[in-house]
Amino acid sequence: MFDVEKLKDDAHYYGEYGRKYLSNSDIGALLTRPTEYGKPSEQTKPMLIGSYLHTHILEPEKVKNFEVVDVASRNTKAYKEALANTTEKMILLKSEAEEVKSLVKVIKGNLPFYEAIYNESNQFEVPAVQNIHGELWKGKADVVCEDMLIDIKTTSNMKDFKWSANKYNYDSQCYIYQRLFGKPLVFYVIDKVSHQLGIFHASQDFLMRGKAKVEEAVEVYQKFFKEGSPEDIETYLHTEIL
């Protein structure tokens, strides 16, 4: 039996309890590097900056939990000393924090974005669990609206977002979240370079590509990782026709 309320706490969602469920973040490993599935991933700068942006927009009361250091780069002695005095794997630079604040200002200053994200009936950071293709999947929606879900993304080039959506498995995210919440997922995107804003809706083809990824991921999971699975991951061999 699953406890969705427990997943509201990030410590449980990303911790041992949350690892009982599959999530869209598992898709990449299961489909392209299954020998890495289940292994902890290193925090990257884009991940840290993305988390800081989401916190500013959706849970500003938690911004104080982020440590920010005023140095020119992560190669400085001062940064390394600051890192040694924290349990974090990476610390935000002040310049990065200021850039995020400028992105938040753009988002909040755009009326269509602001009204869609901050409608008084909306809910933020809502978890859900659902059986999809025979396995339990979890997800946490940025914004749950009456008729849709909003997921806030950043990009380095708005024109390349369609390509990024495939590379980073946003198609499978759309499919999973629509199954979890019964509502379409819409991407609200800000370009980190130009500060241009964009809204991207999922086509049926996009959703079907996502469905195919989820089905393939489940097949790999059941073959190698599920309790009683018929094969050991050490036997995995990648084959492909060029």
| Cα Rg of the chain (Å, integer) | 19
Report the domain count for the chain. 1
Q: With residue 143 as reference, give the H or E element that holds it.
A: strand 135-144
Is 57 part of any domain? yes
SS3 162: helix
Is 122 part of any domain? yes
Q: What is the pTM of this model?
A: 0.93
Is 242 part of any domain? no
- Reading the block at residue 195, the tokens are 């500060």
pLDDT score for 41 = 80
Please compute, for residue 93, the number of CA atoms within 13 A of its CA located in the half-sphere on the CB side: 14
CATH code of the domain containing 184:
3.90.320.10
Q: Could you report the per-residue pLDDT of 84-112, keeping only the tens digit for each? A: 988 888 999 999 999 999 999 999 999 99
Is 240 part of any domain? no
Nearest Cα to Cα of residue 185 among 163, 167, 203:
203
Dihedral class, residue 205 (left if φ above 0, else alpha if ψ from -120 to 50, else beta)? alpha
* pLDDT band at 1; cut points 50, 70, 90: low
Q: Could you report the per-residue pLDDT of 120-156, keeping only the tens digit for each? A: 999 999 999 999 999 999 999 999 999 999 999 999 9
Dihedral class, residue 186 (left if φ above 0, else alpha if ψ from -120 to 50, else beta)? beta
- Reading the block at residue 76, the tokens are 């400085």
Residue 200: domain span = 5-235
